[in-house]
Amino acid sequence: MPQGNARGRLKQSDGEALISPAGGVGVMGYFGDAKARVRADRWVRVAVSVKCSGDSKQKGEMLTFVDAVPGAVVKSEAMSANGRFAIDPAALFVFSSSQPAMMARTVAVRTIRVEAKASDDKDAKAGLARDRVLSMFNAQREREVDEQRKGLSLASLFGAKPRPMWAAPALVATFGDPFIEGTMFEGSSCLAWSFQVVNLIFQRMLSDQCSLFQAPAALPTRMALGDVAHIFEKSAPVFKDMARLLKTPNNAQVSLFIRSLLHRC
């Protein structure tokens, strides 16, 4: 693809479709209508359609769309069957270039679709509607997953981002080296996390009024459990501070932990 430089000369690049500094999508210096622009910090749907000519002496055509808004219309003899603008199933590269200066650095891609036909305005609008439905479906699935996470057994220990119990440090430590080797848990203590899990069990058993403790004969056991649960509850803040210290073991955290421990004693 020819691309102009500061002196007006043309040089060949290895890109068949580019995003200009202004956000237009096109090639050979044609980047289309100012309304069809890729803007930073927002999702857009970019469509590039190429209709290759059967004769190398005839011009093929490229159409670009941004959120179904028509962008560039580029016609060139280079867009011929089996030419560089025809898709090679063995060598299709996206956001890739042999020139480091042309490599994308801050591009987020959600999905890529390749269709074996040339598209027009109608196809671009239909594709936009289809992908919006897909995005709504994905958003709904994410909401469902979030709701499921809130119901996990250890959800209350992880704040805004609950995780499955098998990802909890206390459980990971139980199974030893095959699971913790090379991770942040290797060589560290999981005492703080283990305490928080046991404390959660005690508090849940009392709040749920487990049938095991309902019989009159279980009164001494229930009273002892209440005493232990009370001690665990009062000790919980210390072990939370300990978890922070183990996560970032620096002088500031050590000092903070000691002050917290002395304050609570």
Q: What is the pLDDT of residues 130-170, one digit of tens each?
A: 887 777 777 777 777 777 766 666 667 766 666 666 666 66
Give residue 4's pLDDT.
41
Which residues sit opposite 18 in a β-bridge?
26
Calpha distance 111→44 (Å, rounded): 11
Give residue 186's pLDDT.
60
**DSSP 8-class letter at 111:** -
User: How much is the CA Rg of the chain, to the nearest whole Å?
Assistant: 31
What SS3 state is found at 230? helix
| Stretch (H or E) spanning 75 | strand 69-76
Position with higher pLDDT, 178 vs 83: 83
What SS3 state is found at 25? strand
Amino acid (one-letter) located at 40: A
Calpha distance 232→238 (Å, rounded): 10
| pLDDT grade for 57, boundaries at 50, 70 and 90 | confident
pTM of the model: 0.46
pLDDT for residue 254 is more than 80: yes
Residues 6+ apart with CB under 8 A from 184: 247
> For tokens 């620096």, what's the residue?
250
pLDDT for residue 29 is more than 90: no
Measure CA of the first residue to CA of the last residue in the chain; give whole Å: 73
Q: Is 64 exposed, middle or buried (0-12, 13-18, 19+ CB in 10 A)?
A: buried
